[in-house]
Amino acid sequence: MSISFTVNGKTHKVSEQLDMPLLWYLRDHIDLKGTKFGCGIGQCGACTVHMDGHAIRSCSITLGLLEGKEIKTIEGLSDKVEQAVQTAWKKIDVPQCGYCQSGQIMAASALLKKNPKPTDEDINNVMTNICRCGTYVRIRKAIHEAAD
């Protein structure tokens, strides 16, 4: 069985190790290290990427489930909303240690595409990624900034 999907617009075909989590494939097989490993059990959000425009946790989906899917990682961010999020992140100076931030940015850009003017409550409901430095206030501020 062969599985075909795209990562940042480039087609990938895999036929072995189909039970491998996408996160492992991204980091160890195609050298996209911007997506981070945190918990490995779908809890922390450090590994967040987009699949068909939705934020998903790449540690919790295997290659065998990706037929026809479009995956986007932090390295592939390019459209207007995604650029606005990156600009806002820099302007607000969101990161502290920075480890979780690529996942936060992926989650925030997926949120803004579905809800261009989220309230604090909307943000709190959707942004479930964990930040051990506690940058949540700046993350909320940057999302509002990017929404303007």
Residue 114: CB minimum distance to ligand FES, A: 20
Chain residues that interact with ligand FES, rule: CB under 6 A:
37-40, 42-47, 57, 59
Considering beta carbons, is residue 46 or 84 the nearer one to ligand FES?
46
Residue 48: CB minimum distance to ligand FES, A: 7
Residue 52: CB minimum distance to ligand FES, A: 18
Residue 80: CB minimum distance to ligand FES, A: 27
Considering beta carbons, is residue 30 or 39 the nearer one to ligand FES?
39
Considering beta carbons, is residue 24 or 70 the nearer one to ligand FES?
24
Helix (H, G, I), strand (E, B) or coil at 20: coil
Considering beta carbons, is residue 37 or 96 the nearer one to ligand FES?
37
